[in-house]
Amino acid sequence: MSDSNNELHKILIVGGGAAGLELATTLGNKLGKAGLAEINLIDASSTHIWKPLLHEVAAGTLDETEQVDYLAQAYRSHFRFRLGKMAGLNRIKKEVYLSPTYSDSGEELIPERSFKYDTLVMAVGSVSNTFNIKGVAEHCMFLDTTSQAFKFQKQLVETYIKRHVSKGGNKDKPLSIAIVGAGATGVELSAELHEVTHLLNVYGLDQAGDVKITIIEAATQLLPALPTKLAHATQQQLVKLNIDLKLGRRVTEVSKVGITTHDGEFIPADLKVWAAGIKAPDWLQQIDGLETNRINQLVVDDTLQTADPTIFAIGDCAACSWPGHEQNVPPRAQAAHQQASTVAKSIVNRLQGKDPVKFVYHDYGSLVSLGKYSTVGNLMGNLMGSVTIGGFIARIVYLSLYKMHQVAIHGYFRTAMLTLSNLFRRSAHAKIKMH
């Protein structure tokens, strides 16, 4: 369906995370391929990695072939990819503005640009919430983006080599890593890092097990999204891995050499990772009059539309009410997947002159992977209610969530081929990245 000026309907998606990339792929295959709409996807990075896997990127254990190149995906799925970062919005003109793109050396590669839209979908994800605690932004590392995860991985290896190999390295003192936040990211990262420290020994770095990992959490329980029984089971597993747990400790300050908690305890740390909550990017607060909540999320109705009916918001940047619950729909990968599917149907309906589809969130439970050590979680179902699972079954279900994402962007056949390819690659390539 064309607009009144006989041009194709312009669909602009900002953010290439799980929600944005799945939506662009679906609309490209449904509308772009048939010449019914022009779909553009904007992201500041050139590649995509499923966000729940960033802790594996940070640890250096994720196969780099898991990255999806946006340009290649756009070519296969009949949409266009635009590299850049959103800088502003004009709802009257229906334009999105992108800031210039620079090289690592500071050279301007792409100048400021603007893109027209008929339908805009905001899918810019989330960033870490520092809660304005002193020293966090300056001294902590974050795992919000692929580039941040790669930066942490590089610093991890370099810090370890410097301490244990270089002349003057303090071999008597263990490398200390402090993770603030005991949600899924913090817990999964701690287990992955524990495994990496032992793999380093295989690569000839002596005393590779001499690493102290500490998790600091303001709440008195790990993993608030999981039932207490499962949280305790996870806690026991982490204790077996000699991961130090500081529960009920609220961070008040972070310095170059460590972290201070509300009770005055100082925890030394060579590497500090902040994983203690999320918020939508701060620039969403001033996005041409659209309503946001206290953590900068765009407020949407039950069709995932903002107050402006031409603008949708999905994924972590959307504040969507969850009927029957006190909180909004949680910022999880399964919610992003479901929202992308709903908005795809609504946009197709819009081009056909039909009403948008109402979004109904189905909670399929929570799963946490401790790498090779364990996987725990609870599954939600209409017939059985909440079912606790663990071990091999939980691991399979955990992996299936990622496979659902891959199927959404690659299809069943390509996902099967990628899975087989990775199995062969892992038998021949290094288990951890050392550069």
**pLDDT, tens digit (0-9, with 9 covering 90-100), for 293-344:** 999 999 999 999 999 999 999 999 999 999 998 899 999 888 999 999 999 9
Residue 356 lies inside a defined structural domain of this protein:
no
pLDDT of residue 263: 96
Residue 87 lies inside a defined structural domain of this protein:
yes
Q: Are residues 233 and 340 in the same domain?
A: no
pLDDT of residue 374: 56
> Smallest Cα–Cα separation from 221: which of 210, 208, 234, 211?
234
Q: Are residues 255 and 306 in the same domain?
A: no
How large a percentage of the chain has pLDDT more than 70? 81
Domain count for the chain: 3
C-alpha 425 chain-centroid distance = 25
Residue 120 lies inside a defined structural domain of this protein:
yes
pLDDT of residue 428: 42
- Side-chain-facing half-sphere of 434: CA atoms under 13 Å: 12
pLDDT of residue 160: 76
Residue 58 lies inside a defined structural domain of this protein:
yes
Q: Are residues 253 and 294 in the same domain?
A: no
* Predicted confidence (pLDDT) per residue in 19-65, tens digit: 999 999 999 999 999 999 999 999 999 999 988 888 888 888 776 66
pLDDT of residue 175: 84
Q: Are residues 227 and 326 in the same domain?
A: no
Q: Look at residues 245, 274, 303 and tell me which one is the last residue of a structural domain.
A: 274
pLDDT of residue 141: 95
The three state secondary structure string of the chain is CECCCCCEEEEEEECCCHHHHHHHHHHHHHHHCCCCEEEEEEECCCEECCHHHHHHHHHCCCCHHHCEEHHHHHHHHCCEEEECEEEEEECCCCEEEEECEECCCCCEEECCEEEECCEEEECCCCEECCCCCECHHHHCECCCCHHHHHHHHHHHHHHHHHHHCCCCCCCCCCEEEEEECCCHHHHHHHHHHHHHHHHHHHCCCCCCCCEEEEEEECCCCCCCCCCHHHHHHHHHHHHHCCCEEEECCCEEEECCCEEEECCCCEEECCEEEECCCEECCHHHHHCCCCCECCCCCEECCCCCECCCCCEEECHHHEECECCCCCCECCCCHHHHHHHHHHHHHHHHHHHCCCCCCCCCCCCCCEEEECCCCCEEEEEEECCCEEEEEEHHHHHHHHHHHHHHHHHHHHCHHHHHHHHHHHHHHHHHCCCCCCC
pLDDT of residue 375: 53
Residue 390 pLDDT more than 60?
Answer: no
pLDDT of residue 232: 87
How large a percentage of the chain has pLDDT more than 90? 57
Q: Are residues 104 and 84 in the same domain?
A: yes
Q: What is the mean pLDDT of residues 183-187?
A: 90
CATH code where residue 75 lies: 3.50.50.60
CA distances 129 to 123, 279, 285, Å, are: 18, 5, 15
Q: Are residues 307 and 326 in the same domain?
A: yes
Other C-beta atoms closer than 10 Å to the C-beta of 143 total: 22
Q: Are residues 347 and 370 in the same domain?
A: no
Q: Are residues 307 and 410 in the same domain?
A: no
Q: Look at residues 259, 274, 289 and tell me which one is the last residue of a structural domain.
A: 274
**Cβ neighbours of residue 325 closer than 8 Å, sequence gap 6 or more:** none
pLDDT of residue 199: 65
> Smallest Cα–Cα separation from 191: which of 376, 397, 423?
376
pLDDT of residue 279: 96
- When the pLDDT of each residue in the chain is averaged and rounded to a whole number, the result is 85
Tokens of 75: 């070519």
**Helix-helix angle 391-410:18-27, to 10 degrees:** 40
pLDDT of residue 427: 46
Predicted confidence band of residue 430 (pLDDT cuts 50, 70, 90): very low
Residue 308 lies inside a defined structural domain of this protein:
yes
Q: What is the mean pLDDT of residues 358-362?
A: 94
Residue type (1 letter), 112: E
Predicted confidence band of residue 227 (pLDDT cuts 50, 70, 90): confident
Residue 250 lies inside a defined structural domain of this protein:
yes
Q: Are residues 194 and 288 in the same domain?
A: no
Q: Are residues 174 and 297 in the same domain?
A: no
Phi and psi of 409, rounded to 5°? -105, -20
Q: Are residues 269 and 148 in the same domain?
A: yes
* Predicted confidence (pLDDT) per residue in 90-139, tens digit: 999 999 999 999 988 889 999 999 999 999 999 999 999 999 999 999 99
Residue 2 lies inside a defined structural domain of this protein:
no
pTM, to two decimals = 0.87
Q: Are residues 266 and 292 in the same domain?
A: no
* Predicted confidence (pLDDT) per residue in 256-278, tens digit: 999 999 999 999 999 999 999 99
**Helix-helix angle 70-77:18-27, to 10 degrees:** 30
Q: Look at residues 274, 304, 321 and tell me which one is the last residue of a structural domain.
A: 274
CA distances 381 to 73, 277, 331, Å, are: 34, 27, 20
Domain extent at residue 192: 136-274
Give the best-scoring range by mean pLDDT among 31-40, 143-152, 225-234, 361-370.
31-40
Residue 433 lies inside a defined structural domain of this protein:
no
pLDDT of residue 388: 55
